[in-house]
Structure 1
Amino acid sequence: MLTKYQQFFTGRPTEEIAQSLLGKQIVYTNSDGTKTGGLIVETEAYLGENDSASHAFNGRRTNYSESLYGNPGNIYIYQIRGHYCFDVVVQDAEEPQGVLIRGLEPTVNQEQMATNRGMNSFNVSNGPAKLVQALGIHSRELDGKPLETSPLTIDITSGKKPREIVTGSRIGVNLKGKDGRKPYRFYVKGNPYVSGLRKREMNLEDYGWEG
């Protein structure tokens, strides 16, 4: 029996779950109790064994990607070019779909997040590897753990509402693959913490949130 928390991450299309995560707050509590966190502003959906950009494409299953086959709401942390990235596992167990967290607007202990990254401004967390480093995560220790009871969690009960969600193709995937250009990337229009956003596209008044 899935918990109410787990149910948030299944029972509807992965693209819909990816959009519903925009505006939700991530919080990470490290081993000494220090908290860091922020609002999700950018996500990408990965649709499992039939998605050419997925780590599970064509049924590929390794010890490294095993967490993708776990329960909805679990953590999948993987390393690419020496940097860690963070996916939320979605859909039922054995259905290896996930949502990559691509951009984060710092809201909890922003100074510590800047220190963790060694820089200020929007570059602190405007990318998937950047935000993991900003949170203070430097290993795969949390891989496979449930968000609901982990030091890394997402508050699905509250958050901010995007004024407008932009849909586009994913970044950093093989564009020659059959799904390379699919519109599975979603972000808060104008939020300056969206990866690759040009200055002229940034909304510096309300960062693209309602209210």
Structure 2
Amino acid sequence: MHLRLSCDFFQHDVIHIAPNLLGKTLIRKLDNKTIHRYKITEVEAYRGTQDLACHASKGRTPRTEIMFHEGGVIYVYLIYGMYWMLNIVAGSENDASAILIRGLEGISGPGRVGKALQLDKTFYGEDLSTSNRIWIEDSNEKVTIHTSPRIGIQYAGEPWISKPWRYFIDD
């Protein structure tokens, strides 16, 4: 039996936490009580208000408010009016950092991840340490981590577009 990650796991620098999520197991209990388990295979780190690719760089808004909370809660947002993006808040209060879950084993792309997990706005602010419908467990699996620049953030400019803050493992 694997242990659910506590909030403490998420209350460190996002650049430390993001690669350490790889190989961990994301559990989603659906409304019909079906439980799905997914290995996390790809993530991207967004490092607070100074990171121009991070939503928090625009300041504290109703949309980004949860990013300013202590790590271990969920930040979801809707893109293209149809895809809920799953992000895990990282760091201490006011760090405003988060990790985008870009891939799960067999599911590539953050839009597909949100769809497979049946996310919606009610997940905003969900506490991963106490939620009965979504959480992350340790797997103790040893993985080989690869890095690259993040995807789709040209608007942020340098040095942000070149930061190797996308982390992934072979699926």
For the pair 1:56 / 2:41, whether they are aligned, the reply is: no
State the match for 2:109 in structure 1. Answer: 127
Query: Compared with structure 1, are the counterparts of its residues 37 and 53 closer, same or farther at alpha carbon in structure 2 (3 Å cutoff)?
Result: same
What value does the CA root-mean-square deviation take over the aligned residues? 1.5
Structure 2: how far apart are the matches of 1:175 and 1:166? 24
Structure 2: how far apart are the matches of 1:6 and 1:49? 21
Structure 1: how far apart are the matches of 2:31 and 2:121? 14
Structure 2: how far apart are the matches of 1:89 and 1:176? 20
Pick 1 or 2: higher relative contact order, CA cutoff 8 A, min separation 6: 2
2:74 partner letter: I
Q: For 1:121-160, what aligned pairs fall within 5 Å after superposition?
A: 122=106, 125-137=107-119, 139-150=120-131, 151-155=133-137, 157-160=138-141
Work out whether residues 45 and 99 of structure 1, in 8 Å CA contact, stay in contact via their aligned partners in 2.
yes
TM-score by length of 1: 0.73
Query: Once the 2 structures are TM-superposed, how far is the Cα of residue 43 of structure 1 from its aligned partner?
Result: 0.6
Secondary structure in 2 aligned to 1:146? coil
- After TM superposition, which residue ranges in structure 1, 4 or more long, deviate above 2 angstroms? 157-160
Work out whether residues 25 and 159 of structure 1, in 8 Å CA contact, stay in contact via their aligned partners in 2.
no
State the match for 1:88 in structure 2. Answer: 88
Structure 2: how far apart are the matches of 1:176 and 1:142? 27
Larger radius of gyration: 1
Structure 1: how far apart are the matches of 2:101 and 2:162? 18
TM-score by length of 2: 0.89
CA deviation map 1:57-104 (0-9, x unaligned): 15x121111111112110111111121110100001121001111100
Residue ranges of structure 2 left out of the alignment (5+ in a row):
none
Work out whether residues 11 and 70 of structure 2, in 8 Å CA contact, stay in contact via their aligned partners in 1.
no
Aligned length: 164
- Percentage identity across paired residues of the two chains: 34
Secondary structure in 2 aligned to 1:85? strand
Structure 1: how far apart are the matches of 2:8 and 2:117? 26
Residue ranges of structure 1 left out of the alignment (5+ in a row):
106-121, 192-211
Structure 2: how far apart are the matches of 1:51 and 1:67? 17
Secondary structure in 2 aligned to 1:86? strand
Structure 2: how far apart are the matches of 1:129 and 1:176? 21
For the pair 1:79 / 2:99, whether they are aligned, the reply is: no
State the match for 1:6 in structure 2. Answer: 7
Greater strand share, 1 or 2? 2
CA deviation map 1:135-190 (0-9, x unaligned): 222x11011111111111111x324221x2111100111255231221100000x3
For the pair 1:173 / 2:165, whether they are aligned, the reply is: no
